[in-house]
Structure 1
Amino acid sequence: MPMHLLIAAPVMLVCLVLQVVVVAICLRRYARYRRRWEVRESLWVDIALLTGVMLLTLLCNFAQIGIWAALFLMLGEFKTFMPALYHSGVNFATLGYGDIVMSERWRMLGPIEAANGILMFGMSTSLMTAAVLDVIKSNMARLSEESRT
């Protein structure tokens, strides 16, 4: 198990840094565009902002799945990238199909990737929740102002 953690630690660190960078970029861009469009808020602006955040976080998660797949290839667990990517996606999303199983030597990397994946999806979910709550708050404030006038 310690060897598995030593092998997985750099990959988990890369995934964490990638996720944090994407979250920071999304938050900054979201705040910038929200400020810019505040005067003429519309349903389409909300849709565009939420879609952008969702797509960026999803692409980030796909990239992390690819990083784990590359590790599995480097360890010789798979001969080609596509089965490694599929297996990685199943682990990262914590599906646990079990239709493809790694060798006994590296099998513990699956649960480690699953733990990493659930944390990264949690970060993506919290970012989306923050964006949705901001849209709700912004719309409530706008409606409140309209009712005053």
Structure 2
Amino acid sequence: MFLIVIIFVHGAGIRIINRRFSKSWIRMTRTTPHWRLNLLLALTIASLVILHFAETLIWAIPIYERGVIPSMRDSYYYVLESYTTLGEGNIALPDRWRLLGPIIAISGLFTFGWTASILVSIMTEFGRLDRARAKGSDDEDLSDNSDPDLR
């Protein structure tokens, strides 16, 4: 059940982050200062990291509330260990809950993969802009839609 919730939260979060990036990106031109471009990238990456921290918190709260792990700190630590598939923590779940770790790991693998695909898309846009700046001419399409603002 929580796996589905995490996937839904991630999808909604990715959508919001991507929409904000797109709204900011359409205002970028070849003459936009590098610091503004770097700030946009940093804010986008920070938003993605915050999304992952929120998702791990969504896992940790019910584990703590159900008493599976008695402290919220240890619950969050366990989830972070599992979500990142590191799995080297010294916290062990009771036998009846031990499959929870691999399920959390599946959610982490899936959401990190999804995040990576968004970052590839974003970096492709930056690459187009960098190529256009390096070329310095107006005849190259910078996006699939041939956005005139980036020409």
How far has the Cα of 1:39 moved from its partner?
A: 5.3
Counterpart residue type for residue 114 of structure 1? A
- Residue 54 (structure 1) aligned to one of 25, 42, 45: 45
Counterpart residue type for residue 75 of structure 1? R
Q: Report the equivalent of 1:118.
A: 109
- TM value normalised by structure 2: 0.84
Point out the structure with the larger helix share.
Answer: 1
For the residue of structure 1 that corresponds to 2:39, the secondary structure is helix
Counterpart residue type for residue 46 of structure 2? L
**Aligned residues, how many?**
139
Cα RMSD for the two superposed structures: 1.7
Write the mapping of 1:1-149 to structure 2, written as runs, cut at 5 A: 9=1, 11-38=2-29, 40-146=31-137
CA deviation map 1:87-128 (0-9, x unaligned): 000000000104111000101010010011111111111111
Q: Is the contact between residue 50 and residue 128 of structure 1 (CA under 8 Å) also seen in structure 2?
A: no
Counterpart residue type for residue 142 of structure 1? R
Q: Percent identity?
A: 24
Structure 2 CA distance for aligned equivalents of residues 147 and 129 of structure 1: 25
Structure 2 residue runs of 5 or longer lacking an equivalent are 140-151
- TM value normalised by structure 1: 0.85
Counterpart residue type for residue 70 of structure 1? I
Q: Please list every run of at least 4 consecutive aligned residues from structure 1 whose deviation after the TM superposition is greater than 3 angstroms.
A: 145-148
How far has the Cα of 1:76 moved from its partner?
A: 1.4
Structure 1 CA distance for aligned equivalents of residues 15 and 36 of structure 2: 20
Tell me which of the two structures has the higher relative contact order, counting C-alpha pairs closer than 8 angstroms and 6 or more residues apart: 1
Structure 1 CA distance for aligned equivalents of residues 89 and 73 of structure 2: 16
How far has the Cα of 1:71 moved from its partner?
A: 2.0
Structure 2 CA distance for aligned equivalents of residues 64 and 26 of structure 1: 15
Q: Is the contact between residue 26 and residue 53 of structure 1 (CA under 8 Å) also seen in structure 2?
A: yes
Structure 1 residue runs of 5 or longer lacking an equivalent are 1-8
